[in-house]
Amino acid sequence: MTETALHRHIVVVGASLAGTRTVQGLRALGHSGPITLIGAEDELPYDRPPLSKNLLNGAWSESSVDGIRLVTRAELDELGVELRLGSAAVGLDTAARRVRLADGTSVPYDALVIATGAAARPSPWRPPSGVYQLRTLDDSRTIAAQLALGEPVVVVGGGFIGTEIAAAAVGHGCPVTVVDPLPEPMTRLVGPEIAGSLVELHRRNGVRTRFGTGVVAIEGKAGELTVELDSGERLSAAAAVVGIGSVPSTDWLAGTGLELDNGVVTDRFLRASGADDVYAIGDVARWPHPGRGADVRAEHWTNAGDQARYVATALTRGVEAGYEPTDYVWSDQYDWKVNACGRHDPAGSSTVIGDLRAGSRAAVIHTDAQGVACGAVTVNWVRALNQARRLLSVGASGDSVVDAVRQLA
């Protein structure tokens, strides 16, 4: 990297985890040129995982919101970062190297980092009121106020976020039903063993489940909704929370020459395909995963931070190797802290260590069809996860990971 690279104007679009960690990383690594951080929300950058956990289950109050800020305005001032909040990027001219904003202004760049994340996949069911979705701090506040009423709730979507919302609703005393068209919605995320135990956990806490059946319609209004399932069943609820995945925030990049395909497509150095000096990171990026032999768009907190650090390094010092993901995710459900790394291979095998039904600490080690350890999921047992993660990173066999984790028991 030349000295001049450190003086370039770097513009980061998306002021959340990936964007914030990028600007902090740039300064920490000696970037001395101007940095502009652009965010659509009129909020200082904040962390999203608590939105479906402590902020929703009543454990935290409004005064706790400061605790989820990723950075303060004073810190950004000290870093010399120009912060443009409340004005979304609406266009990009890669030839002129300018980002156009909703307020009519445009910002020139020498290098651009796209970190616009994702939005909740819009609900196909839109009665006049009573249907909620969760992605932002405002969404979380609105849903928390609804749950605090203790009225019946239908959660559509049995993934991590849907089930965390269900657990929070139970905590508020709401009768809760979770609906998902998949027979075992969490299997894809954590494998069948933990997925099954999580469903049991929810049922023990009073959650009703309707899996293997989809929603056909949601009618009525707040306080008196009817959720119609394709099984013919009709559920009455005061509110419905729809958590059916997310869509990458790329609308503003349409027609710019960047390759868009379920995210901004990048090479293994996270350089966006279709323009020079443009990178994409975090939930919006789709990049070649070295271990999976396929392009991946990860929607995980750890990945967003890791990619930010990687791109900050690429922009200041240069990188020789492509981005190596850690594939780590977690979820809190009641008193279960679920941690997962790697993946579950349906063609491989899995070994359970500990008693998943007892709710004490337990682990599942996933092995691929070749006998190599490919993933681990733990419940209330971070030490086992860390051990497995270390061995996975060196390509250990499934048997040796199982032995190593058993020794920790």
Ligand X SMILES: Cc1cc2nc3c(=O)[nH]c(=O)nc-3n(C[C@H](O)[C@H](O)[C@H](O)COP(=O)(O)OP(=O)(O)OC[C@H]3O[C@@H](n4cnc5c(N)ncnc54)[C@H](O)[C@@H]3O)c2cc1C
Note whether 29 and 56 are within 8 A (CB): no
- The values of phi and psi at residue 134, to 5°, are -120, 115
Output 25 or 117, the one with its CB closest to ligand X: 117
Shortest Cβ 138–ligand X spacing (Å): 11
Supply the DSSP string of 389-405, one letter for each residue: HHHHHTT-BHHHHHHHH
Output 18 or 314, the one with its CB closest to ligand X: 18
Shortest Cβ 80–ligand X spacing (Å): 20
Q: Tell whether residue 161 is a contact of ligand X (CB under 6 A).
A: yes
d(CA 19, CA 88): 14
Shortest Cβ 69–ligand X spacing (Å): 13
**Position 20: which residue type?**
T
Q: Which tokens belong to 200?
A: 């049991």
Shortest Cβ 22–ligand X spacing (Å): 9
Output 41 or 228, the one with its CB closest to ligand X: 41
Output 132 or 235, the one with its CB closest to ligand X: 132
Q: Tell whether residue 282 is a contact of ligand X (CB under 6 A).
A: yes
Shortest Cβ 121–ligand X spacing (Å): 12
Enumerate residues 6+ apart whose C-beta is below 8 A from 193: 350, 352, 356, 364, 377
d(CA 186, CA 163): 9
Between helix 192-204 and helix 160-171 the angle, nearest 10°, is 20
Output 76 or 402, the one with its CB closest to ligand X: 76
Q: Tell whether residue 244 is a contact of ligand X (CB under 6 A).
A: no
- Residues in a beta bridge with 119: 247
The window from 44-52, 214-222, 311-319, 398-406 that contacts ligand X (CB under 6 A) reads 44-52
The window from 111-119, 216-224, 311-319, 378-386 that contacts ligand X (CB under 6 A) reads 111-119
Q: Look-up: residue for tokens 């990687």?
A: 310
Q: Tell whether residue 333 is a contact of ligand X (CB under 6 A).
A: no
Q: Which of 23, 70, 71, 89 binds ligand X (CB under 6 A)?
A: 89
Enumerate residues 6+ apart whose C-beta is below 8 A from 17: 45, 47, 48, 70, 282, 301, 304, 305, 308
d(CA 70, CA 61): 18
The window from 36-44, 72-80, 150-158, 176-184 that contacts ligand X (CB under 6 A) reads 36-44
Q: What's the CA angle centered on 53, arms 37 and 188, to 5 degrees?
A: 90
Q: Tell whether residue 71 is a contact of ligand X (CB under 6 A).
A: no
Q: Which tokens belong to 3?
A: 């000295």
Output 115 or 174, the one with its CB closest to ligand X: 115
d(CA 258, CA 274): 4
Site for ligand X in 116-145 (CB under 6 A): 116-118, 134-135
Output 219 or 299, the one with its CB closest to ligand X: 299
Q: Tell whether residue 22 is a contact of ligand X (CB under 6 A).
A: no
Binding site for ligand X (CB under 6 A): 13-19, 38-41, 48-49, 51-52, 88-89, 115-118, 134-135, 161, 249, 252, 282-283, 299-302, 304, 329-331
